[in-house]
């Protein structure tokens, strides 16, 4: 029996120096698999603009977070001109649980999930989280396979193929492939 082989690229370090390679690897895999959707985390908008430009013709969803003012206005104009969707929302693995932790000092399930995903790297956790946020925003239907791209701080260093689900249905999420990540 012949089994398909999928290559995972492991960067020697995490960080924004991996952004261009991460986006290119994500695009290559999306084209190979015939996927039409890409979800990318972007705080300032710089990574989102790079993704929207590279993934022209795709359904590009740029997930920012709750602080819209962090998104550079020029980046927002560029994203709008490319047809990319921009999501401003609370983190799927935070918000209410964080409020309970701050007030009562008790760790909540969402924090446990987030910390568990971080075992694979911060960008891995972010890629999963922004996919849930894109589904919650109605921009990706549950069950769809997408390329999700994340990082930590600035830039991107992780790309995965994921079967998307709403945050409330988190355990219906499936990580199908790891395209690239830091070691």
**What mean pLDDT comes out for the span 26-38?**
98
Average pLDDT, the chain: 92
pLDDT at 182: 97
Tokens 């069950």 sit on residue: 143
CA angle 56, 142, 31 (to 5 degrees): 30
User: What are the residue ranges spanned by the domains of the chain?
Assistant: 24-61+68-182
Average pLDDT for 77-106: 83
pLDDT at residue number 112: 87
Angle at 18 between CA 118 and CA 122, to 5 degrees: 10
User: Which phi and psi angles does 120 have, rounded to 5°?
Assistant: -85, -10
State which fold the 24-61+68-182 domain adopts: Pyruvate Kinase; Chain: A, domain 1 (3.40.1380)
Strand order in the sheet with 158-163: 9-11, 174-182, 158-163, 145-150, 37-41, 59-63, 85-87
* Confidence tier at 68 by pLDDT (50, 70, 90): low
Phi, psi of 146 (to 5 degrees): -135, 160
- What does the pLDDT read at residue 111? 85
pLDDT of residue 96: 66
Question: What is the model's pLDDT at position 95?
Answer: 65
Q: pLDDT digit string (tens) for 42-66? A: 999 999 999 999 999 999 999 998 7
Residue 10 burial (CB count, 10 A): 10
């Amino acid at each position: 029996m012949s089994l398909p082989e999928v290559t995972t690229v492991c960067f020697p370090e995490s960080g924004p120096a991996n952004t261009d390679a991460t986006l290119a690897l994500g695009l290559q895999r999306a084209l190979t698999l015939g996927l039409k959707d890409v979800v990318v985390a972007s705080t300032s908008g710089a990574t989102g603009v790079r993704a929207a430009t590279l993934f022209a013709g795709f359904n590009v969803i740029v997930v920012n977070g709750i602080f819209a003012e962090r998104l550079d206005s020029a980046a927002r104009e560029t994203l709008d001109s490319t047809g990319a969707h921009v999501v401003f929302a609370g983190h799927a693995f935070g918000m209410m649980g964080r409020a309970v932790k701050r007030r009562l000092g008790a760790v909540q399930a969402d924090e446990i999930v987030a910390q568990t995903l971080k075992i694979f790297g911060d960008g891995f956790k972010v890629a999963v989280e922004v996919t849930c946020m894109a589904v919650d925003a109605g921009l990706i239907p549950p069950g769809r396979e997408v390329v999700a791209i994340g990082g930590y701080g600035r830039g991107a260093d992780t790309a995965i193929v994921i079967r998307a689900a709403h945050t409330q249905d988190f355990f219906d999420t499936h990580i199908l492939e790891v395209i690239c990540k830091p070691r």
